[in-house]
Structure 1
Amino acid sequence: MALKMSPHSALVHVMVLTACADKELAEQEIILMSEMIRILPAFRGYDLDDLSADSESCLGYLEKEEGLEELMRDVADALPPRLAETAYALACDVAAADGEASQPELQVLMIIRQSLGVGRLPAAAIERGSRARMMAI
């Protein structure tokens, strides 16, 4: 029996899932994930040294048949409901990090939103905020 995922790990899994959606892990995505983990209050108490293990864990889910469904169940179980929008916002920021969300990333965002029960209006606001934050001059 696998260990229950921690809320911190669940947030990391959502970011890695989004970054890997288009089969290309862009350098901007890796940098952004590391920076968000380092500065955001949601990650207080998370050991950055665990990022590699959590990333590998996420990839392990995705190698399994129906791994995406299992991953999202475990993420939803690990996250307190008040962090659902936080997880979605992190995923949106990662998708926007390289300047444009690809179709596979948009599909993964929809799966994350639905799995975590983030409503359409909050999701639209979160998406708009991510877009605004990731605009280049």
Structure 2
Amino acid sequence: MTGQDPISIEEALIYVMVIVSASDNAMTDSELASIGDMIKTLPVFENYDERNVIPAAQRCGDILQEENGLSLVLELVGDILPSKFYDTAYALGVEVAAADLHIEAEELRVLQLLRDRFGLDKLTVAAIERGAIARHRRH
């Protein structure tokens, strides 16, 4: 991204996954694998070139290093994503947080910030979170 080139919807979604994963200062192998799997399989990424994932994650990381970096990323993502993708973005964030079967307080904080930024209602949030619990349950 140079100067003020806008990011794509797909890149905004990648930013959401990165900020959740990086929130506890440790992007685990499980979280990275989850991000990769979602990019490979979800319809929203069907036209996205997977070779752009690492550069996108690096750009997000660069923004996070700036003063108020998390706020900047949240603002950018909120500005880029059409409202119909708010629940998708939140669901991707929840999947990343749940990937290593342990959700840190920092991840919960970022998820709360996403809920607030996107204005998601409690029923939508509960459904997304319950679905993630069901998908990641072990016996």
Asked whether the two chains share a fold, i.e. TM above 0.5, the reply is yes
* 1:125 partner amino acid: A
For 2:79, the aligned partner's letter is D
Q: Which amino acid aligns with 1:52?
A: I
TM-score (norm 1): 0.96
**1:125 and 2:123 are equivalent in the alignment:** no
CA distance in 1, matches of 2:25, 2:137: 23
- Are residue 107 (structure 1) and residue 109 (structure 2) matched? yes
Q: What is the number of residues matched between the two proteins?
A: 137
Distance 1:25 1:66 in 2: 20
CA distance in 1, matches of 2:39, 2:92: 10
Equivalent of 2:73 in 46, 71, 74: 71
What are the Cα deviations for residues 55-89 of structure 1, in whole angstroms up to 9, with x where unaligned? 11111111111111111111011111101000000
Q: Which runs of 5+ in 2 are unaligned?
A: none
* 2:35 equivalent in structure 1: 33
The one-letter amino acid paired with 1:111 is L
1:1-137 equivalent positions in 2, closer than 5 A: 1-137=3-139
**In percent, how many aligned pairs have the same letter?**
36
Mean alpha-carbon deviation: is it higher for 91-100 or for 123-132? 123-132
Shift of 1:53: 0.8
1: distance between equivalents of 2:69 and 2:4?
A: 14
Find the aligned partners of 1:44 and 1:121 in 2 and give their Cα distance: 28
- Structure 1 segments, 4+ long, off by >4 Å, are none
Deviation at 1:9, TM superposition (A): 0.2
Deviation at 1:124, TM superposition (A): 1.4
Measured in 1, the distance between the counterparts of 2:135 and 2:96 equals 11
Which secondary structure state, in structure 1, belongs to the residue aligned with residue 112 of structure 2? helix
What TM-score, normalized to structure 2? Answer: 0.95
SS, match of residue 74 in structure 1: helix
